[in-house]
């Protein structure tokens, strides 16, 4: 297995899932992540925003426009909080966004020492705004967790996910085995009774109005067929 840093493991794992662009605002906690981005050269385009909110909204726009996963990276604490409006919008609109969030050093998490950009229970906040989120604690765990993030993005209802990586983990080196993408989980079962009730209401309506959300992006022909009926 090759020796690589945690930053290398994260970046190469993201590339392995077909992502070629990251929207980002760098900071001291993500130095080794950006070193890894630089090291992969033209394989990855890094779009530098002027504000964390801009980076997150760029990823949101890309995900909504393409239907494919989009990634943004910001520093922890206030940097992460600046991105949460876009992350909450990604949750409500069903956008496949991966939030790659920095942290304070692992040894200080939860201690309340007042380190730069420290906030209480950042991972807990991230989990309230995503369908799945976790923290990378060792470089060799990065491929598996990135794989789980993308598996969640492609399974069930599309919603954002999050990964948190402390700076010491980004800098640490270990033998890391990159992993192939995990198979997507099955979609939830259809509510046949609910569909039948909706069809009955539409059939009886004199002036029906169909309000279609972003969840129907991949079902254009089916929606058109419903309208024509």
| Each residue's pLDDT tens digit, 99-121 | 999 999 999 999 999 999 999 99
Query: Which residue, 128, 122, 124, 129, is CA-closest to 101?
Result: 122
The verdict on 207 and 169 lying in the same domain is no
Write the pLDDT tens digit of every residue in 171-203: 999 999 999 999 888 777 889 999 899 888 888
Is 167 found in the same domain as 95?
yes
Show Cβ contacts of residue 192 under 8 Å, excluding neighbours closer than 6 positions.
none
DSSP secondary structure letter of residue 212: -
In a domain, 162, yes or no: yes
Token pair, residue 187, equals 């979609």
pTM: 0.89
User: What is the average pLDDT score of the chain?
Assistant: 94
Same domain, 136 and 207: no
* Pairing outcome for strands 70-74 and 161-165: unpaired
**Please, is 109 exposed, middle or buried when counting C-beta atoms within 10 Å of its C-beta (0-12, 13-18, 19+)?**
buried
Distance CA 112, CA 92 (A): 32
Q: Is residue 186 part of a domain?
A: no
């Amino acid at each position: 297995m090759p020796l690589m840093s945690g930053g290398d493991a994260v970046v190469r794992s993201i590339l392995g899932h077909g992502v070629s662009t990251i929207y980002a605002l760098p900071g001291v906690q993500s130095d080794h992540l950006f070193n890894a981005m630089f090291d992969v050269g033209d394989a990855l385009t890094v779009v530098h925003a002027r504000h964390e909110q801009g980076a997150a909204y760029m990823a949101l726009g890309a995900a909504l426009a393409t239907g494919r996963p989009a990634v943004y990276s910001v520093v922890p604490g206030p940097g992460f909080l600046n991105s949460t409006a876009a992350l909450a919008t990604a949750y409500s609109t069903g956008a496949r966004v991966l939030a790659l969030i920095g942290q304070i050093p692992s040894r200080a998490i939860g201690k309340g020492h007042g380190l730069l950009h420290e906030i209480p229970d950042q991972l807990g906040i991230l989990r309230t705004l995503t369908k799945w989120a976790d923290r990378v604690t060792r470089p060799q765990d990065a491929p598996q967790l990135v794989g789980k993030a993308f598996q969640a993005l492609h399974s069930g209802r599309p919603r954002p996910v999050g990964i948190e990586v402390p700076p010491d983990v980004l800098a640490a080196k270990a033998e890391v085995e990159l992993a192939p993408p995990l198979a997507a989980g099955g979609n939830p079962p259809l509510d046949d009774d609910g569909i039948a009730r909706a069809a009955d209401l539409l059939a009886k309506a004199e002036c029906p109005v169909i309000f279609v959300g972003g969840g129907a992006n991949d079902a254009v022909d089916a929606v058109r067929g419903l309208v024509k009926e």
